[in-house]
Amino acid sequence: MQYLATLNPEQRAAVVAPIGPMLVRAGAGSGKTRVLTLRIAYLIEHYQVSPSNILALTFTNKAAKEMRTRLKSLLGNKVRGLTTGTFHAVCAKLLRAEIGGRLGHYTGDFTIYAADEQLQIASQALDAATERPPILLEPEELLRHISRAKSQMRTPQVAARFARTPQDAFIAACYRRYQRALEKANALDFDDLIVLTHQLLIEHPDVLEQYQQKWQHILVDEYQDTDSSQYALIELLSRPTANRPRSLCAVGDGMQAIYGFRNADHTIIARFQQDFPQAQVIELATNYRSRQSILDAAYAIIRHSRAVTPMELRAASPARPGERNLMIFDAKDARDEAAQIARNINDLVRQGRRYRDFAVLYRTRHMSRNFEAALRHARIPYSIRGGVGFYDRSVVRDTLAYLRVINNPADNLSLSRIANVPARGLGAQSISTLSTWAAQRGMPLSEALNHPEALSLLSPKAASGARQLASLLARWRQLNQGTYPPDHLVSDVLERSGYMEALSQRLTPDELPDARSHLQELVVAAEEHSTLSEFLQEIALLTSSDTEDDERDQVQLLTIHASKGLEWPIVFVAGLEEGTLPHERSLTTQEGIEEERRLCYVALTRAAERLYLSWAAGRVRGTQARQSRFISEIEAYGRERLAKR
C-alpha cells in the first residue's frame, strides 16, 4: 500500500479510518475522488473485503468510470465484482433483476423515459383532466411538482391525502394519471428508479436482505447532492444487521450544494452526525487546484453562509512572484463586458496560452449570446457546453424509438413516434384510432397493429402499413431474443424500415451526410454492448458530463451549474450584479440567497491560476444595475486581511 505515502495527513486519515459511518468533508480541489478510490482499495487490501461486497455510488457515469479505471491500475483483477455507478444506473440494474412480479404490472424489460417522453405523458395527464384546474399549468411545471413529490417519497395517494389547496388536489390527480400511464407502458422515469427500488426493498424483506448481504460497504460521492429518496435508499441498504456494522463512507462538500432546483437537499449532509451519531468526520482542507488568492475570494463569499459550515481552504501550491491571480472589472453593458473578456483572452493567447485554458461562466443560458458574438468578432474558437447532445438529435431519437419498441412492446409512446416514420400510411388519425381501440381492450398499441378487428377500422392503405410494421417488429423481436448483436440489429432496423432511404429524400444534400454519420456513430456505440436492453439503459442514464468531453482547442462557454466538477487554468465569471448573480428570483428568500452564494463559490473555485470577475452597470437596456454583494464581500475581506498584516 505504497499509495498511503502519497497522501496528506487528512487524506490518509480518511483512507485508513476504522469501518463505520464516516463523513469526509472534502473542499473544492482537495482530491476527494482520489481519497474515495483509495478508501475502496484499502478496504480490499487491509480489511480483506471482497470487492463484490462494495457499492460505490456516484452522480455521473464519468466519475464511476474514472474510479474503476484508477482502481484497476492499482489492484488489477482484484477489483472484479465491485459495483460502481450512478444511483440511477445501480437501481435500474437491480430493478431489471427483481421487479418482475413484485411491483404492479412491471417487467424487467421496462423502458426508461427521458425528458421528452415524460413531457408527453404529463401533457396527456393534463389533457385528460376532468377536474377544473385552479390555474393554468404547463406540462413542464407539472413534471417539476411530480419530481419533487417523488424525491420526497410521496406517492400520488399521499399527495392527494395531504393536498392543502385546490391546486395541490389538481396536481395530485394529474400525478395519479401520469403514474398510471407509465405503469401501463411498462416505463419508468428517472425518479421512479430510486423510489421503486426503495419500495421494492421495503415490501420484499427477502430482497432487501439479499442486497444488504451483497453490499456490506457503501461509499457515496457528492453526498451534498442527494435528495430525500436517495438518502432513504442509502440509509436502508447500509443499516447494521446482526452480521455486520454500518459501513458507510460519504464524501461531499456542503459549500458546493447547488442543485436545489433538482430537489437535492443540502441539509442531508449537514445532519450526517445527527443521523449517524457514531460517525467520524474528517475535513480535507488542502486545495491542489487553485492559488490562495482565488481560495480567499471564494471564502470571502461562503463565510457569510448561514446554511453551511464554511471551511477555509489552504492552497498546496504557492503563488509565483509577481503573479496576479484575481482581477475584478466593470463594464458599461453586456456587450462591453463580452468585448473585454475577448480582448483579455487574445492578449493571454499571444503570451502563450491555449484557447482551451479558458472558460467563461454565467448564471443563465441566454447570457451566452453576447459572449458568442464577441468571440466570433475576435476570431476566437469556442464551444458551448450544454447544447444539443448526440442522443437528442432527431435521427438518433427516431432510431432509438424503434429499438425501444423492440425491447418493450408496451411502449406506446415510442411506437407512436415511429409508426409513420418513414411514411407507411399510418398518419395521426390512424394511430389515434388504433390507440383508442387498444386502450379499450387493455392491450398495448403494438398488438393492435395486426389485429383484424382493429385493422377493419382503418383505410386499406393504413391497414397495409400497420401489417407491414407489425411484421417488421416481429422479425426484430425474434432477432433480439437470440444472440443477434445490437449493432447488427440497429443496421437492420435502419435498412428494412426504409428509414435510410427516406432520409435521402427528406433531407437536403448538405444535411444528409451529417445525419448518416450520426446513425453510423449509433451503430458503433451499439457495438460496445452485448444486449439491446443494456445498450438502451446506458443511453437513458447518460448525463451531460458523460457526453461532453471536448478536448479541442476552444474557449468553453457554460453556465455555472454545468461547470461543477470541472476546472480550467483561467476562468471568467461574468454577470456579478444584483439580480443576475445572485439571481433576481433568489432575492426574496434567505434560502434562495444561500444557494446563490454556494453557486458563486463553485464558480470561483473552478479557476486554478487566474480568476476574472466582471459586472455590467447596464446589462438590461434602460436599467441601472448594482454590483453584486459577492464582489463587495470579496473586497471587504481583502481589506480585512490587509489591515491584519
The one catalytic residue among 10, 12, 33, 177: 33
Q: Is 98 a catalytic residue?
A: no
- HSE toward the beta carbon, residue 62, CA cutoff 13 A: 10
For strands 111-112 and 83-86, give the pairing.
unpaired
Q: Is 120 a catalytic residue?
A: no
The one catalytic residue among 12, 25, 32, 598: 32
* Site of grid cell 400525478: 175
CA proximity to 63, closest of 207, 251, 237: 251
Rounded Cα–Cα distance for residues 265 and 228 (Å): 7
Rounded Cα–Cα distance for residues 142 and 138 (Å): 6
* Site of grid cell 486581511: 641
The one catalytic residue among 221, 225, 253, 596: 221
Sign of CA dihedral 207, 210, 215, 216: positive
Specify the DSSP class assigned to residue 577. Answer: B
Residue ranges of the alpha helices (H) in 351-459? Answer: 368-377, 394-407, 412-418, 428-440, 445-448, 452-455
Asked if residues 20 and 216 have their Cβ atoms less than 8 Å apart, the reply is no
The one catalytic residue among 83, 256, 340, 399: 256
For strands 187-188 and 111-112, give the pairing.
parallel
Q: Is 580 a catalytic residue?
A: no
Contacts of 484 (CB under 8 A, 6+ apart): none
Asked if residues 14 and 282 have their Cβ atoms less than 8 Å apart, the reply is yes
Q: Which amino acid is at 57?
A: L
CA proximity to 144, closest of 36, 263, 43: 263
Q: Is 514 a catalytic residue?
A: no
Q: Which amino acid is at 462?
A: A
Q: Can you read off the three cell numbers belonging to residue 48?
A: 480483506
- HSE toward the beta carbon, residue 361, CA cutoff 13 A: 26
- HSE toward the beta carbon, residue 322, CA cutoff 13 A: 0
Rounded Cα–Cα distance for residues 149 and 172 (Å): 9
Q: Is 222 a catalytic residue?
A: yes
Order of strands across the sheet with 54-58? 83-86, 54-58, 217-220, 248-252, 22-26, 280-284
Rounded Cα–Cα distance for residues 304 and 633 (Å): 9
Contacts of 506 (CB under 8 A, 6+ apart): none
The one catalytic residue among 606, 610, 619, 629: 606
Q: Is 39 a catalytic residue?
A: no
Catalytic machinery residues: 32-33, 221-222, 256, 606
